[in-house]
Amino acid sequence: MVDRVRAAAKLRHEDSRSQRRMEVYSKARGVDAEGTSEISVEAFKKALIHLESNTQQSLPVLKKAFVQDPAHIVTFLRHKSALHFIIGRLISGDPYEQLEAMECCCNASLGDAKSCSLVANAGAIYMIQIVHGTNVNLIKVALTTLGNLSMASGATCKLLHEQGLVPALLAALRVDETRELAAKALCQFTYTYLPHLSCPGTGSASFDLT
């Protein structure tokens, strides 16, 4: 009896966490949370399996599943070539696929430090290039993603710094539509990276804005 009560309480807690993640996701994307439905495990697995053959239908399922359950992010990253395929969509000629793929990366950046490291190593350079582009909607999601990745670890910040994150953020700060997100990403980056630089044995205690 006690075990059943505990199991029920755990399930309610997990449902509550899932609902909160969906509310945050919906607010950020301007979507009505009440009008969205949960992605089943079966639907997630099907989308992952058919990602390359049915890309435009799979991407929306994956990006939403990542928010519902962080375990889906881990499963996705373990799936052969799935991450690299989505990164490839970032530089495709299809604006719809670019945005959907960028949102997949954004939601995957809500995972743990290891997940963020994998996403950053595979695609940060392309996200930084996107920030230098002209597609404002795409830039906004890229900035959010880069900010999330910056919070993962000092090592990830070092990679982002070496790939030119700071100049990209400074450029985005000069544009009205992207200024707020760029400022937030810069704060996230410096919050994580500066303590790492000041620790003994990490090398230089400063970094330039280049």
CA distance 169 to 124: 13
- 7 found inside a domain: no
Q: What is the pLDDT of residues 31-42, one digit of tens each?
A: 434 445 789 999
Helix (H, G, I), strand (E, B) or coil at 132: coil
Q: How many domains does the chain have?
A: 1
CATH number at residue 99: 1.25.10.10
Q: Could you read off the pLDDT of 122-173 as tens digits, one per residue?
A: 999 999 999 999 999 999 999 999 999 999 999 999 999 999 999 999 999 9
Phi first, then psi: give them for residue 177, nearest 5 degrees.
Answer: -70, -25
- Asked if residue 8 belongs to a domain, the reply is no
Q: Which of 107, 113, 114, 91 is nearest to 144 (CA)?
A: 107
Q: Environment class of residue 142 by beta-carbon count within 10 Å: exposed (0-12), middle (13-18) or buried (19+)?
A: buried
Nearest-CA neighbor of 127 among 94, 168, 83, 170? 168
The secondary element (H helix, E strand) that includes residue 95 is helix 95-108
Q: Taking residues 92-113, what's their average pLDDT?
A: 95
The range of the structural domain enclosing residue 120 comes to 41-198
Nearest to 63 by CA among 127, 133, 141: 141
CB 148 within 8 A of CB 108: no
Instruction: Identify whether 9 is part of a domain.
Output: no
